[in-house]
């Protein structure tokens, strides 16, 4: 038998056998000064290394936790109500955040008044009364050739003298309101930060995350918005009411922002204040009403809201109410992320809400958010049956919503995503039907069904349900709601309901129950 010497153990503590230890050992000639210096350097290196370890650990923990977060996408065409729904979430789960940006909404609201005023004046200048409408385009059942709109029974041209007196009046309005018309472009510039977006609708003003700070003249916000869980002020979230103490705090904020730089807002506020009577007179002109009835002038719901509330909005020291903010309109550019911590049935979960831009030119930016989305709320504005896309004036907006919904339902990345449908703007639908607008003039397949609310929503709901059924490989349930997302009271219970159903689905899919 051959005996061999035992190999050195790999765990040997014999330092002489370890070349690294030998290499790191201080030289025998090290002086006391060099020793102190070396120990200091070694301590610094250890501290840096420990910090890196801590950061790696924290990152791992963040990633682990963020995998447990809920990601909710708000999808739908432009003007469908996504950002308004986001504000309702904010009101419920982070009311302070809405308060903190309350004053910045003046820029949007003043813009929401200035632009329709310009459009009214331009329509009065360019459309002689009695000019027939020729813009009817069919909805999802397409007839061979576009048919004309129904006569309102009021299409006889006005006498030349009446027309000329209207022309004179309009010329006077243009002169008197010229400061407001000039301010419109500046407000648009302030909101968009000078960014023009092509291919996403005519003359629209888009805002990116962080526009609020620009509107208050503060430094531009961070790339992805994180909504603060507690704002500077607490606010009761009621419809349009600000209590005294909070009102005082807001006034203070108003004065601070004024003293900082908000000359533009100050100027527009005083223009509105001094032009209020002229704006009102213009808004109430019978010629404007006639143009609207003949569909030669199309103003959206927010124009009605702010012009109807003109005396309050044009008051010196105006502070937007929550209801004003819910009605304010500005187009979203890209994707804005809002983060809320929600406590659901004793468990606190972080929710990420992604509010996307819905115009056609914006939709490509949705896709990176699809693969880790837990839930979608798809908003379809059912009041839009008589409207066409800004981006493509030949496409009926309800038709576009249906096509978009089909793409969402059939998307492979989203096939396991919890799906909620909001048939939105039901309040606007009710007013349109009450004003006698006929659905079958725009959606020919509506036929001779009753032109009444229940029948119309049942018809649209059935179409969306059919699209879902035909594109539902994974047998996913569709949760649908009839909504008016500007209605805070109703939305609170709908949001809670939706939140619970998303949360239940999340618990099941995460196998946490």
Ligand X SMILES: Nc1nc2c(ncn2[C@@H]2O[C@H](COP(=O)(O)OP(=O)(O)OP(=O)(O)O)[C@@H](O)[C@H]2O)c(=O)[nH]1
Instruction: Give the span between the Cα atoms of 34 and 28, in whole angstroms.
Output: 11
Among 80, 83, 112, 484, indicate the residue that binds Mg ion (CB under 5 A).
83
Instruction: Give the span between the Cα atoms of 92 and 341, in whole angstroms.
Output: 11
330 is in an annotated binding site: yes
The interface with ligand X within residues 286-305 (CB under 6 A) comprises: 301-302
Instruction: Give the span between the Cα atoms of 422 and 81, in whole angstroms.
Output: 10
Does 357 interact with ligand X (rule: CB under 6 A)?
Answer: yes
Does 200 interact with Mg ion (rule: CB under 5 A)?
Answer: no
47 is in an annotated binding site: no
Does 331 interact with ligand X (rule: CB under 6 A)?
Answer: yes
Site string for Mg ion, 302-341 (x = CB under 5 A): ------------------------------x---------
Instruction: Give the span between the Cα atoms of 406 and 467, in whole angstroms.
Output: 6
CB of 484 to Mg ion, least distance (A): 17
Residue closer to Mg ion, measured from CB, 332 or 483: 332
CB of 375 to Mg ion, least distance (A): 18
Does 116 interact with ligand X (rule: CB under 6 A)?
Answer: no
Residue 25 phi, psi dihedral angles, 5° rounding:
-65, 135
56 is in an annotated binding site: no
Instruction: Give the span between the Cα atoms of 339 and 194, in whole angstroms.
Output: 27
Q: If you search the block for the tokens 């649209």, which residue do you land on?
A: 460
CB of 211 to Mg ion, least distance (A): 11
* Extended beta strands in 277-359, E state: 331-332, 335-344, 347-356
CB of 426 to ligand X, least distance (A): 7
Among 428, 429, 495, 498, indicate the residue that binds ligand X (CB under 6 A).
428
- Both tokens assigned to 390: 């800004």
326 is in an annotated binding site: yes
Instruction: Give the span between the Cα atoms of 410 and 386, in whole angstroms.
Output: 27
Instruction: Give the span between the Cα atoms of 316 and 319, in whole angstroms.
Output: 9
Residue 335 phi, psi dihedral angles, 5° rounding:
-130, 130
Q: How far is CA 89 from CA 76, 162, 192, 405, 420, in A?
A: 17, 51, 24, 22, 15
- Classify strands 335-344 and 347-356 as parallel, antiparallel or unpaired: antiparallel
Among 155, 258, 293, 427, indicate the residue that binds ligand X (CB under 6 A).
427
**How many residues make contact with ligand X (CB under 6 A)?**
25
Site string for ligand X, 64-83 (x = CB under 6 A): ------------x-xxxxxx
485 binds, among Mg ion, ligand X, none (CB under 5 to 8 A by kind): ligand X
Give the binding site for ligand X (CB under 6 A).
76, 78-84, 301-302, 326-327, 329, 331-332, 357-359, 424-425, 427-428, 484-486
Output the known binding site for GTP: 326-332, 424-427
């Amino acid at each position: 038998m051959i005996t061999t010497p035992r190999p050195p153990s790999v765990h040997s503590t014999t330092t002489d056998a370890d070349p690294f230890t030998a290499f790191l050992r201080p030289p025998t000639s090290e002086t006391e000064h060099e020793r102190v210096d070396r120990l200091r350097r070694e301590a610094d290196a250890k501290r840096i290394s420990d910090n890196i370890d801590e950061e790696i650990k924290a990152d791992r923990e963040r990633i682990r936790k963020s995998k447990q977060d809920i990601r909710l996408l708000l999808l739908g065409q432009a003007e469908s109500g996504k950002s308004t729904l986001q504000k309702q979430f904010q009101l419920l789960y982070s009311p302070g955040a809405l308060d903190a940006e309350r004053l910045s909404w003046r820029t949007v609201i003043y813009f929401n008044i200035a632009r329709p005023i310009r459009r009214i004046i331009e329509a009065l200048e360019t459309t002689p009364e009695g000019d027939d409408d020729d813009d009817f385009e069919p909805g999802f059942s397409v007839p061979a050739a576009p048919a004309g709109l129904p006569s309102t029974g009021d299409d006889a041209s006005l006498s030349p003298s009446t027309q000329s007196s209207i022309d004179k009046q309009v010329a006077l309005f243009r002169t008197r309101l010229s400061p407001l018309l000039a301010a419109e472009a500046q407000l648009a510039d302030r909101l968009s930060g000078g960014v023009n977006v092509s291919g996403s609708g005519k003359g629209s003003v888009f805002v990116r995350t962080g526009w609020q700070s620009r509107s208050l003249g503060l430094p531009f916000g961070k790339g992805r918005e994180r909504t603060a869980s507690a704002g500077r002020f607490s606010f009761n979230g009621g419809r349009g009411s600000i209590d005294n103490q909070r009102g005082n705090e807001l006034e203070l904020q108003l004065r601070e922002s004024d003293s900082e730089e908000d000359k533009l807002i100050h100027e527009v506020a005083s223009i509105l204040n001094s032009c209020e009577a002229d704006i009102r007179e213009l808004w109430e002109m019978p010629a404007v009403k006639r143009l609207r009835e003949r569909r030669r002038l199309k103003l959206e719901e927010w124009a009605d809201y702010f012009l109807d509330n003109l005396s309050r909005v044009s008051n010196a020291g105006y502070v937007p109410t929550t209801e004003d903010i819910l009605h304010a309109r500005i187009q979203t550019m890209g994707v804005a992320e809002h983060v809320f911590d929600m406590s659901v049935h004793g468990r606190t979960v972080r929710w990420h809400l992604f509010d996307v831009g819905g115009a056609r030119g914006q939709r490509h930016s949705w896709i990176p958010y699809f693969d880790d989305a837990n839930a979608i709320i798809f908003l379809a504005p059912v009041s839009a049956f008589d409207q066409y896309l800004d981006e493509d004036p030949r496409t009926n907006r309800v038709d576009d919503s249906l096509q978009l919904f089909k793409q969402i339902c059939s998307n492979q990345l989203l096939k396991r995503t919890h799906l909620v449908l909001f048939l939105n703007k039901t309040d606007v639908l009710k007013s349109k039907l009450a004003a006698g607008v006929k659905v079958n003039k725009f959606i020919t397949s509506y036929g001779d069904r009753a032109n009444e609310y229940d029948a119309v929503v049942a018809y649209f709901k059935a179409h969306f349900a059919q699209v879902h059924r035909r594109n539902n490989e994974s047998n996913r349930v569709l949760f649908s709601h009839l909504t008016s997302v500007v209605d805070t009271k109703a939305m609170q219970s709908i949001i809670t309901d939706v939140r619970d159903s998303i949360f239940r689905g999340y618990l099941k899919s995460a196998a946490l129950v």
